[in-house]
Structure 1
């Protein structure tokens, strides 16, 4: 059983996808959640029309759902196209164009966490140059996040599903966080601890929690293998969440898992309704 003090937020880019985007906040609220997070909802454009931004903002407000996390533009998700900020050329330019758009949208909803996916290694590009470009773009993103009172999140993905993504361990992501903080002096870059990705990489999750909770700004969960709801794989999610609380983590825990087939209320059967709302 998870602690009643855990604050859950539900990722409506993976869950409630049986509904159109603008109906998902209301669907999450109807299921008992008052907090949601999002990948960048317009994968084809980093700079959507103001009317699209207004419509999503209105849907979130009308549903009474708080936006707790938002990804910067990162291309098509989910899939092998992971991130844009370290990809030279057009994709990096698209990320740069998105920074203030995403930060301002987050600020308008008092969202305090912005996630920047690092980006794949790409054929023909020097990895050293990609890392230089990544640090440059992450410093811009960290400054934009600081301007709106938010933290910048950097996460590790898993090598089996994202073989060209260079940050496939907790230490690798934490090292980038430290570089960004050193470059900006703002100390607002934080590690996004996604327990599913780390489990898929074979990491010792209790050790990750012990070593890196102090630098963690957000946690996401899914069971492994399969990326389903807790209870569908082999992870003891309740124990891991208890370890996080003992280590001092009191932030949001994002439900970033795949829905059941077919999707529906059974996706949340593991979490009693009274524990779903952060304002309980």
Structure 2
């Protein structure tokens, strides 16, 4: 596999979960990776400063680069999928923007994923979309001040999450760019979610490779490592590279066995960005 020039990073919120969070960056380094990504690694939008310091130190001490970080998205195991469009929790998202960007600035991260949020019963879709546009504009403006981008992604397995295809995401991006002048919103091209949702991957690559700011992979069915399912991951990554994408490819899969064993598909020489 891996017949393309793109660089890999490893998502430590879904891999190496057999270890405590703060031990995972060192485990990634020991496995040969030089770049990592995380979902929001704390239980609150504004965590205690000492917790932030310990997390940052774990990444720094491991000698790995943080290349992707989620904004706070609520209780992910409990079914939450972001606060961007959730009126009752919009203030938490806004409070999290500065915290996430400050952590990213410390660790050199330039890509921040804003999960859009599920539809809720106490607001109309139109109200949620209007709020989401406001919040994305705020996040994009703050990120632009440090040369960063805000990512937006389609998600599968969450029936009330409204962004399912690459076109869904780009429509939101276009609206925020048109109304707020934000030009640093990017598509998070997740091959697993897009495939499961039935999107036309080759067509999406042709249309949106230039709007893509990050890529994530897992095979389907199962959301396990490449080679366990039916997605032509290498073919899609090669097509993205041919279309001009030169960013990171995040390993965001549930290992079918141990995290270490699940990396056998990726030669150790391909795990380092150097």
TM-score by length of 2: 0.97
Please report the RMSD computed on the Cα atoms of aligned residues, expressed in angstroms: 1.1
Contact conserved, 2:4 with 2:234, CA < 8 A, in 1? no
Give 1:203 deviation, angstroms: 1.3
CA distance in 2, matches of 1:109, 1:181: 27
Q: How far is 1:78 from its partner?
A: 4.4
How many residues in Structure 1 have an aligned counterpart in Structure 2? 274
After superposition, the Cα gap between the structure-2 partners of 1:264 and 1:127, relative to the gap in structure 1 and judged at 3 Å, is closer
SS in 2 for 1:67: strand
Partner of 1:108, secondary structure, is helix
Correspondence 1:101-112 to 2 at 5 A: 101-112=99-110
Segments of 4+ in structure 1 off by > 3 A?
none
On the 8 A contact 1:70/1:115 being kept in 2, the answer is yes
Q: Where does 1:28-47 land on structure 2 (aligned, <5 Å)?
A: 28-42=28-42, 44-47=43-46
Structure 2 unmatched runs, 5+: none
State the Cα deviation string for residues 32-81 of structure 1 (Å, max 9, x = none). 10100010011x31001111111111110110110001000101224521
Per the TM alignment, residue 126 of structure 1 is displaced from its structure 2 partner at its CA by: 1.1
Q: What does 1:1-280 align with in structure 2 at a 5 Å threshold?
A: 1-3=1-3, 5-42=5-42, 44-78=43-77, 80-89=79-88, 91-158=89-156, 161-261=157-257, 263-279=258-274
**Conservation of the 8 A alpha-carbon contact between 1:88 and 1:125:** yes
- Displacement after TM superposition at 1:136 (Å): 0.6
- 2:4/2:241 contact within 8 Å kept: no
**Structure 2 Cα separation of the partners of residues 276 and 200 of structure 1:** 26
Q: Note the alpha carbon deviations across 1:132-189, whole angstroms, 9 max, x for none.
A: 111111111101111121001011112xx11000101111101111122223324111
Contact kept, 8 Å, 1:35 with 1:277, in 2: the verdict is yes
Partner Cα distance (1:266, 1:229) in 2: 10
For normalisation by structure 1, the TM-score amounts to 0.95
TM-superposition CA deviations, 1:66-115 (whole Å, max 9, x none): 000100010122452111111112x2111111010001110111100011
Cα deviation for residue 124 of structure 1 reads 2.4
2:188·2:212 contact (CA, 8 Å) conserved in 1?
A: yes
Q: Which runs of 5+ in 1 are unaligned?
A: none
Measured in 2, the distance between the counterparts of 1:243 and 1:4 equals 9
